[in-house]
């Protein structure tokens, strides 16, 4: 029955069933039921029900009468409903995810014996959950926050959970501080305000009181904290792990995911508006991309340091508040992950998935990173409170390889293990421990020596060098955004102690940064730097300078604004070219019912109307000409706002014929040279031409710098995500 079971899900699922990727799908099939029109309503104990509408009553046709408690059907429905919720995650409550596959293409036998990272013929099924940290389960997707990036690899040797973030460092060095950093960031205890925001007194009070957080809060104020899409974020394991090879040699490693689509962010005003206009923006974005077959991909990279070199750096490589700069330890990309299947049911798959950093497979190990070791305790513990002690038995969590042991009982145990013994050793030699040759996890024989004390090594005490490195590595635009972010955040702190101390802390990073922010938010403007800036840079930290992949507009949403009398030839040409480039053209009109073209013959049914859908939800805007259409749009305040707001958010705007005048009217800036000349013209990301005809498109549209055609220039602009020159020139209208 069409629509009852999501089609996109079935399509990919069937394609994958014959492969190793399909192993998890086959496993899940044991617990998956499709609801069909052949099904009949039953109770949980299987008895068919005659109605879902009326509680059993003692009454008559004239008098309804009281409900009877004896009604088992009604009681079951209400009781089940009353208990539908489980505790939301104490952090990262808001999120969504998808299934996919991972394959290593450059096996790293020299570092590890883990087949998931060495066997290039293997496909490993994965489930990935993305999240925000601070907000509760119903909060908005676009809040300024760190994003979680948690990957469960269902390997043939057991589950490996790599539970990372989109920012490579963390606020604290030692796990014992986690409750403090989270309490300070979550809504304040007296009034539970604010929701999903770091812009409040307690968050910044904590940051000031913990100099170790300095590096991380710089990242959190950068554009990394307002991603355009989960598909356009990097992911980082953050902690230092180890890899052990077949010879028993150990390396320290950090893991990285880098997206095929480049690393891109929203602009802040847009993120704020989307929070209200489309709070599900990120989860819908992921779903839509997968449903449309534009599967997001990430390259998987490692940075490796031989055990013997552990102390060769001026930072401690086990300190999660530090990156390993690429000029010292380059990233080697060795594999690729693709997400290609949306979940069937949110609760049983996304809500019940349980990640544990302690879940690693042979060939991978922990390090003495004091944050990681605490995490290894916390995740297991939290799953017991969220899901119960048998959480690993839930379909989404259980491994695709055999599981057998003497763990027994507990709430909601449902594996039935047939055996007369439940202990080891036993007289039957049932279920003995495995040998190394059989693939047992054997701990690395690490030498441990020292005193028992609550200590942190000396190198953990440097809290500023890398905060400066990060700031120095930003482009002018990124610096501008960070300043604006501090100005916003500290403006929301009402306690002068909080904002004035924080402004002074900024002087430890950069004098000019501190001065500018102080002027905006109040507090004493610092008169001298807190400490000298070492001046070093690491360009790979900048998301604008980060070496990108080939430019693409795949999956970018492009609005085409129409009204009655639109130029159908330009519209058709643009629509076809966008679809061919795998972008998502969205037609927006004054109404959702049919809009007729200038020739009186062609027509289109818009996907949305100007009020219902906003410019914040698209990446670029195209307006075909047509005198009557443009006249209508020019009188429509919301349509004009659309163009002005898209311009203010630095989006590329394409206009042909009469529509060029509309753009001029909406943005009203003489410095943006707009003209409907015969030639293609481009000025600060506004691309114009007098007439767009299919023959002016060329055979294939090259998305490359320096291209000359109208569509090529428009596409290249979109592929660059935003027109930063517009912002640098101070031309973005304040919308
Ligand atoms: Fe954590 C969830 C990432 C430090 C304790 N964390 C959680 C999730 C992500 C991270 C992505 C969501 C997983 C999911 O989608 O279900 N956490 C990190 C990173 C950290 C980090 C990258 C620093 C390197 N976390 C951290 C510490 C502790 C925790 C230091 C405690 C000592 N984190 C938890 C938790 C959560 C969690 C309370 C809540 C829900 C869950 O585990 O499953 O145990």
Atom number in ligand 1 closest to CA 91:
39
Edge-to-edge strand list for the sheet holding 620-623: 608-609, 584-589, 557-561, 620-623, 652-656, 686-689, 681-683
Residue nearest to atom 35 of ligand 1 (CA): 379
Phi-psi region of 494 (alpha: psi -120 to 50; beta: other; left: phi over 0): alpha
Give the distance (Å) from ligand 1 centre to CA of residue 135: 14
Q: If you ran DSSP here, which 8-state letter would residue 492 be given?
A: T
Pocket test for ligand 1, best of 378, 383, 397 (most atoms within 8 A of CB): 378
Distance 413 CA to ligand 1 centre (A): 26
With a cut of 80, say whether residue 22 has pLDDT above it. Answer: yes
Closest residue CA from atom 42 of ligand 1: 379
Nearest-CA residue for ligand 1 atom 4 is 375
Which phi and psi angles does 51 have, rounded to 5°? -150, 150
The protein residue whose alpha carbon is closest to atom 44 in ligand 1 is 379
Question: Cα(347) to centroid of ligand 1, in Å?
Answer: 19
Asked if residue 643 has pLDDT above 80, the reply is yes
- Residue nearest atom 11 in ligand 1 by C-alpha distance: 148
Atom 23 of ligand 1: nearest residue by CA position: 170
Which class for 355: exposed (0-12), middle (13-18), buried (19 or more C-beta within 10 A)?
A: buried
Angle at 371 between CA 366 and CA 377, to 5 degrees: 75
Most informative mutation of 355, 369, 376, 381 for ligand 1 (most atoms within 8 A of CB): 355
Q: Whose CA is nearest to atom 30 of ligand 1?
A: 175
Structural tokens at position 373: 């070791």
> Ligand 1 pocket test: which of 87, 89, 376 has the largest number of ligand atoms within 8 Å of its C-beta?
89
Question: How many Å lie between the centroid of ligand 1 and the Cα of residue 89?
Answer: 9
Residue pair 192/202 in contact by the 8 Å Cβ criterion = no
Band the pLDDT of 700: cuts 50, 70, 90: low
How big is the CA angle at 59 (ends 57 and 62), to the nearest 5 degrees? 135
Q: What's the rounded mean pLDDT across residues 214-229?
A: 98
- State which ligand 1 atom lies nearest to the alpha carbon of 148: 11
pLDDT value at position 279?
A: 98
pLDDT of residue 735: 47
CA distance 646 to 636: 16
259 CA → ligand 1 middle, Å = 22
- Determine the atom of ligand 1 nearest the C-alpha atom of 131: 15
- C-alpha of residue 13 to centroid of ligand 1, in Å: 30
| Per-residue pLDDT reduced to its tens digit, 355-395 | 999 999 999 999 999 999 999 999 999 999 999 999 999 99
91 CA from centroid of ligand 1 (Å): 7
The pLDDT assigned to 18 comes to: 66
Say if residue 3's pLDDT is above 70.
no
Mean pLDDT score, 231-236: 98
ipTM: 0.99
Report pLDDT for 261.
95
Q: What is the mean pLDDT of residues 216-241?
A: 98
8 band by pLDDT with thresholds 50, 70 and 90:
very low
Q: What is the mean pLDDT of residues 697-705?
A: 71
Position 388 scores a pLDDT of: 97
Lowest-pLDDT range, 148-157, 619-628, 668-677, 678-687?
668-677
**Quick one: which H or E segment has residue 505?**
helix 496-506
d(CA 5, CA 9): 8
Is 60 exceeded by the pLDDT of residue 13?
no
Mean pLDDT of the chain, nearest integer? 94
| Ranges 29-33, 353-357, 693-697: which has the least confidence | 693-697
Residue 186's pLDDT is: 98
Residues annotated as part of the active site: 92, 165
All domains of the chain, ordered by start, with CATH? 95-173+234-393 (2.40.180.10), 468-541 (1.20.1370.20), 557-728 (3.40.50.880)
Calculate mean pLDDT across residues 272-281: 98
Confidence of residue 7 (pLDDT cuts 50, 70, 90): low
Mean per-residue pLDDT, 143-151: 98
> Buried (b) or exposed (e) across 550-571, using 16+ Cβ within 10 A?
ebbbbbbbbbbbbbbbbbbbbb
What pLDDT digit, counting tens, does each position of 323-349 carry? 999 999 999 999 999 999 999 999 999
Q: How confident is the model at residue 550 (pLDDT cuts 50, 70, 90)?
A: confident
Tokens (6 digits) for 347: 């609760």
Residue 682 contacts by C-beta under 8 Å, 6 or more apart in sequence?
A: 688, 713, 717
pLDDT at 308 > cutoff 50 = yes
User: pLDDT band at residue 707, thresholds of 50, 70 and 90?
Assistant: confident
Pocket of ligand 1 (CB under 6 A): 89-92, 95, 129, 131, 148, 150, 163-165, 170, 175, 178, 238-239, 320, 354-355, 371, 374-375, 378-379, 382
Protein residue with least CA distance to atom 27, ligand 1: 375
Query: What is the position in ligand 1's atom list of the atom closest to the CA of 176?
Result: 32
What atom of ligand 1 comes closest to residue 165's alpha carbon?
Answer: 22
Candidate of 91, 171, 238, 373 to mutate for ligand 1, largest count of ligand atoms within 8 Å of Cβ:
91
What pLDDT, on a 0 to 100 scale, did the predictor assign at position 12? 52
Region 571-576 average pLDDT: 94
Tell me: pLDDT of 698 over 90.
no
Q: Could you give the residue ranges of the DSSP H alpha helices within 241-314?
A: 268-277, 281-291
pLDDT value at 699 more than 80: no
């Amino acid at each position: 029955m069409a629509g009852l079971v999501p089609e996109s899900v079935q399509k990919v699922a069937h394609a994958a069933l014959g492969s190793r990727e399909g192993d998890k799908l086959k496993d899940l099939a044991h617990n998956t039921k499709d609801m069909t029109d052949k099904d009949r309503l039953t109770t949980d104990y299987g008895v068919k029900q005659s109605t879902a509408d009326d509680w059993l009553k003692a009454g008559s046709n004239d008098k309804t009468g009281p409900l009877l408690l004896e009604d088992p059907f009604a009681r079951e429905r209400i009781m089940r409903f009353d208990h539908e919720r489980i505790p939301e995650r104490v952090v990262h409550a808001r999120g969504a995810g998808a299934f996919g596959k991972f394959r290593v293409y450059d096996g790293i036998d020299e570092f590890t014996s883990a087949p998931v990272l060495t066997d290039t013929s293997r496909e490993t099924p994965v489930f990935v959950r993305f999240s925000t940290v601070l907000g509760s389960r119903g909060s908005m997707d676009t809040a300024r926050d760190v994003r979680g990036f948690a990957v469960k690899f269902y390997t043939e040797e057991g589950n490996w959970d790599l539970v990372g973030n989109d920012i490579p460092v963390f606020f604290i060095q030692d796990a014992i501080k986690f409750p403090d950093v989270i309490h300070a960031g979550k809504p304040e205890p007296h009034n539970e305000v604010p929701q999903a925001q770091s812009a409040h007194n307690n968050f910044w009070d904590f940051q000031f009181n913990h100099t170790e957080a300095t590096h991380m809060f710089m990242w959190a104020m950068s554009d990394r904290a307002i991603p355009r899409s989960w598909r356009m974020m990097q992911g980082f394991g953050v902690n230092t792990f180890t890899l052990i090879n077949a010879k028993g040699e150990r390396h320290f490693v950090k893991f990285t995911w880098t997206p095929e689509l480049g690393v891109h962010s929203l602009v802040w005003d847009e993120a704020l508006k989307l929070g209200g206009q489309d709070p599900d923006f990120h989860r819908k974005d992921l779903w839509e991309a997968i449903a449309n077959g534009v599967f997001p991909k990430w390259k998987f990279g490692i940075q490796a340091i031989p055990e013997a070199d552990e102390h060769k750096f001026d930072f401690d490589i086990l300190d999660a508040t530090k990156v390993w700069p690429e000029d010292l330890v380059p990233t080697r990309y060795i594999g690729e992950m693709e997400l290609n299947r949306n979940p069937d049911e949110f609760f049983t798959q996304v809500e019940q998935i349980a990640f544990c950093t302690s879940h690693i497979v042979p060939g991978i190990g922990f390090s003495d990173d004091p944050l990681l070791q605490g995490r290894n305790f916390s995740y297991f513990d939290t799953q017991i409170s969220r899901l119960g002690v048998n959480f690993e038995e839930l379909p989404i969590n259980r491994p695709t390889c055999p599981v057998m042991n003497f763990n027994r009982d507990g709430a909601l145990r449902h594996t039935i293990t047939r055996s007369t013994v439940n202990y080891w050793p036993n007289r039957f030699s049932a279920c003995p421990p495995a040998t190394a040759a059989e693939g047992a996890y054997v701990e690395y024989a690490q030498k441990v020596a020292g005193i028992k004390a609550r200590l942190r090594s000396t190198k953990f005490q440097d809290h500023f060098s890398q905060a400066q490195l990060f700031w120095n590595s930003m482009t002018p635009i990124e610096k501008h955004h960070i300043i604006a972010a501090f100005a916003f955040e500290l403006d929301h702190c009402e306690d002068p102690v909080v904002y004035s101390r924080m402004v002074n802390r900024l002087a430890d990073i950069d004098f000019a940064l501190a001065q500018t922010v102080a002027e905006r938010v109040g507090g004493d403007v610092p008169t001298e730097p807190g400490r000298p800036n070492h001046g070093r840079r690491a360009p790979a930290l900048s998301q604008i300078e980060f070496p990108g992949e080939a430019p693409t507009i795949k999956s970018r949403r492009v609005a085409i604004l129409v009204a009655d009398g639109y130029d159908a030839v330009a519209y058709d040409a643009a629509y076809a070219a966008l679809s061919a480039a795998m972008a998502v053209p969205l037609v927006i009109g004054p109404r959702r019912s049919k809009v007729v073209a200038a020739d009186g013959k062609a027509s289109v049914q818009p996907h949305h109307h100007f009020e219902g859908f906003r410019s914040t939800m698209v990446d670029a805007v195209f307006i075909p000409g047509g005198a009557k259409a443009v006249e209508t749009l020019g009188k429509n305040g919301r349509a004009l706002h659309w163009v002005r707001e898209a311009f203010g958010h630095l989006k590329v705007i394409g206009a042909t014929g009469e529509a060029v005048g509309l753009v001029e009217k909406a943005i009203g800036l003489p410095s943006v040279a707009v003209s409907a000349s015969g030639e293609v013209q481009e000025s600060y990301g506004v691309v114009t031409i007098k007439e767009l005809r299919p023959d002016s498109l060329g055979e294939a549209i090259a998305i490359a710098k320096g291209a000359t055609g109208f569509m090529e220039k428009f596409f290249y602009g979109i592929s660059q995500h935003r027109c930063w020159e517009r912002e640098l020139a101070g031309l973005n209208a304040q919308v």
